Structure formats: structure tokens, C-alpha cells
Amino acid sequence: MSGSKSGSSLPIGCAYFETPGAVLNIVRCRQNLLKILSVIDIHCHILPEVDDGPKSWETSEAMCRMASQDGIEQMVATPHANDRYYYDRAYLAQLLKQLQQRIGPSPQLSLGCDFHLSFENMQAALEKPERWCIGNTHYLLVEFNNFSIPPQMDDWLANILESLDARGILDDTLVIVTSDHGENFGEGGLIGHGFSLDERLVHVPFVASGPGSERLKGFLDNTIIYRILKENL
């Protein structure tokens, strides 16, 4: 991994995650990480018969058992919230409760969403943020469009930060902007992100501001990121 310096006076950490070294490093140190860290999965389509998640309760339960065996102690169910899938928080909460009863205490399940960043969703989130956030926290998992970034994105993000500031919680909020992968747009005859480990897919920017972000400046180690997220989640 390598980091780039931020020219801002704000406590912002900025880094790029590179491959194949970073991927190999993660694989090599996985067992050691599981021994020293409490692992939290904050993006998982685990609820049965919901959007593109598992198609049965049995598959959902099996996925939870596999996660627990891999050392994951907490999982956030993140159904899509976009123009294709309606996000019914009350209904999804009932599914989550049933799933927790079926699998037992581990892993511990929470409800969030895969929040598609559109104008309509942003307005709804500003009016009633608790509908979309992870559990009872102030944390929101935001998904950008797969194919383009709207030109209004800077204004939308500014509105969100201003709303947090107006509520008096901005200084206590760790804001992270990153990506779990890049995309192929015809390079090498490939479309999407599931068929290669090219640098354009895994050389991912990571920008953070807020409590703990100063520890993310410069050279990063996987364990540092996990610890900071755990401390602030």
C-alpha cells in the first residue's frame, strides 16, 4: 500500500490501495488479522428473498455460518435503496429479527442499506436520516452510480455535511469516501469488475475526515483501518 499527501489543513487521510501486492498481503495476513481484530462486515446482502441477496432462508443461514467461521462477529444487512428496489425499513427489520433468531447470537446482525446516491434519496435522508443509517448509529453506507458521477455530487455532499453540522454532530462523525472496486469499461475486452485484478480495479482511493482520520495519513496498514472503523462504528 502507498499513501498520497493531503494538502488540506483539515484532518483528512488519503490513500490508495494497490494490487497485486495489497491483495496478496491481505491473504497472507488474514489469519493473523482474525486473531487480533473484531471483524465487522458493513456491506452484505444477507436477507433472504430481498433484491439480489440469497433466494432462501437456508442459503441465508449458511452464509451467516460461513461468515462466523471466518471470524466476522458483526454483519450489517444492506438491502438496496434505489429506483429498482423499494426500501421498506419496517419489513426488512422483521426479516433481520427472524434471521437472527434462526442463526443464534453469532454473528450479530444490524440493519443498514445500500443507499444509492440520487437526488431523491438524498432529500429523503436529510429529512429522516434514521430510516437509512446503520442500526441506531449516524453511519450511512452510500453507493455511487456504477457508470457515472452526477455533476451535482459536490453540492450533494456539501448538503449532507452541512446537515450534520446543523445537527451538531459533524465533529463527531467519521466521514469516509472510498470504493470497494473500480470498473472495466472495455479495457482488455472486459466490462465490469468481476473478471480481473487489474490496477484500475483495485487501485482504490480512500479519503477520510473526522475522528481518527489523522491516523490514516500517509502509509497505511490494513490493521490500522480496521481498528479505526471498529472504534468509531
- How far is Cα 80 from Cα 87, in angstroms, rounded to an integer? 7
Lowest-confidence pick of 17-26, 101-110, 147-156: 17-26
- Strands across the sheet containing 72-77: 39-44, 72-77, 108-111
The residue ranking higher by pLDDT, 47 or 221, is 47
pLDDT of residue 149: 72
Taking alpha carbons only, the member of 48, 51, 113, 108 closest to residue 78 is 113
Q: Is the pLDDT of residue 24 over 60?
A: no
Q: Is the pLDDT of residue 120 over 60?
A: yes
The secondary structure of 173-215 as a DSSP string is --EEEE-S---EESGGG-EESSS---HHHH-EEEEEESTTGGG
- How far is Cα 40 from Cα 78, in angstroms, rounded to an integer? 13
- Structural domain of residue 97, as residue ranges? 38-168
Q: Determine, yes or no, domain membership for 222.
A: no
The domain that holds 123 is classified in CATH as 3.20.20.140
**pLDDT, tens only, 183-201:** 777 777 777 776 777 777 7
Q: Determine, yes or no, domain membership for 174.
A: no
Task: Count up the domains in the chain and report the number.
Answer: 1
pLDDT of residue 225: 62
pLDDT of residue 5: 31
pTM for this structure? Answer: 0.63
The residue ranking higher by pLDDT, 151 or 1, is 151
C-alpha cell at position 42:
458493513
pLDDT of residue 91: 96
Q: Determine, yes or no, domain membership for 225.
A: no
pLDDT of residue 6: 32
Q: Determine, yes or no, domain membership for 133.
A: yes
Phi, psi of 175 (to 5 degrees): -100, 125
Instruction: Express as a percent the part of the chain with pLDDT over 90.
Output: 27
Within 10 A of 91 (CB to CB), how many other CB atoms are there?
13
Q: Determine, yes or no, domain membership for 207.
A: no
- How far is Cα 64 from Cα 42, in angstroms, rounded to an integer? 13
pLDDT of residue 87: 95
- How far is Cα 220 from Cα 13, in angstroms, rounded to an integer? 10
Q: Is the pLDDT of residue 148 over 60?
A: yes
Taking alpha carbons only, the member of 136, 61, 49 closest to residue 99 is 61
The total number of residues written for the chain in this structure = 233
- How far is Cα 219 from Cα 101, in angstroms, rounded to an integer? 42
